[in-house]
Chain A
């Protein structure tokens, strides 16, 4: 009697597999979204995925609906942060344990997924960020952008004590605690560095995992040179204000 109870308990425990969701924000990615989703479903049929079509004006929506992809079509364009947050909300609603976010343009190689997810499963980190700067291979971005990233990375270190070298990387694996935090509070535009500060002030253990990134094949980067000055000002301020507001709240 006790023995059967024990074995059923064991079986139940085995049946508890962590639910994993891959969030793919996509804005005007008609040229790459099929490749990204097909690549993912062929290699990792065990993971669920969700395309968040951020009010694209091209054929992204038709492609996703036509192929029967799991897609949330945002009825208006919300910016990358709003799209990613939709994924986190969806993950909360559907009780996912781990989420991965990868870009819809195909620059993130999913070969690293299992190892990055294992770091979370083993409880060694709360957030794993795919970092192209831990190695020197693959697409390393332009010199100007790298300088900007180094600056933001140092700022993050000063503000939180955590050094994330590829602080603008949108390749992130997040555990259940931070799924809930990000579902409630995620920056709207240019969210990655600010989200890192949010994670750090909530006591998240952030690990970087070396990945090789590809240069995007289609579509355009969301950050043009014209916008980069605005980007740096906005992100710097946002990170500082995040840190300050948490500092005040903590003293209560």
Chain B
């Protein structure tokens, strides 16, 4: 069983976590589609704090020694997922930047030629 004090702390932590994300979203410092995985992680945390029995079942199912370890594994899994999402976003943007630079530089040549009256 998760101690009550820990549960209270976790609830506050998750609430401030959501407040932070919403604050960034409101000020357009984050784009919603990139925060979906963060929000999903927060929701799972809330569910687990509200219904710790779920965590127990999860921990028992996978044969993990203690509840806290189960929690750590969950958190770790979310962090890895988030990192993978970020890497994929970076890669996609890299591709876009590449096309952008190439086409822009080709256009610059065209403009230079037009200015020289070729």
Contact = CB atoms under 8 A, between A and B. Distances in A.
Interface string B82-98: 00000000000000001
Interface in A51-79: 70-76, 78
Interface residues of A, number: 15
Contacts, number: 34
Residue of B98, B102, B104 with most partner-chain A CB within 10 A? B102
A70 B102 CA distance: 15
Interface string B101-117: 11111101100000000
A72 B108 contact: yes
B109 A74 contact: no
Contact of A90 (B98, B104, B106): B106
Interface stretch (A81-89, A109-117, A149-157, A200-208): A81-89
Nearest to A65: B112
B108 A86 contact: no
A78 B103 CA distance: 13
A93 interface: yes
Contact of A71 (B98, B102, B109): B109
Contacts of A72: 105-106, 108-109
A199 B106 CA distance: 25
Nearest to A82: B98
A193 to B, nearest CB: 20
B102 A82 contact: yes
B87 to A, nearest CB: 15
Interface residues of B, number: 9
Main secondary structure on chain A at its contact with chain B?
mixed
Interface in A28-47: none
Nearest to B95: A188
A89 B110 CA distance: 13
Contacts of B104: 75
B105 A82 contact: no
Contacts of B102: 74, 78, 82, 85-86, 89
Nearest to A93: B106
Contacts of A86: 102, 105-106
Contacts of B98: 78, 82, 85, 188
B101 A78 contact: yes
Interface string B45-66: 0000000000000000000000
Nearest to B109: A72
A74 B109 CA distance: 10
B101 A89 contact: no
B57 to A, nearest CB: 37
Nearest to B108: A73
A76 B98 CA distance: 10
Contact of A76 (B101, B103, B108, B109): B101
Interface of B: 98, 101-106, 108-109
**Closest A-B pairs by Cβ, 9 of them:** A86-B102, A74-B105, A72-B109, A72-B105, A90-B106, A89-B102, A72-B106, A82-B98, A76-B101
30 contacts: A70-B109, A71-B109, A72-B105, A72-B106, A72-B109, A73-B105, A73-B109, A74-B101, A74-B105, A75-B104, A75-B105, A75-B108, A76-B101, A78-B98, A78-B101, A78-B102, A82-B98, A82-B101, A82-B102, A85-B98, A85-B102, A86-B102, A86-B105, A86-B106, A89-B102, A89-B103, A89-B106, A90-B106, A93-B106, A188-B98
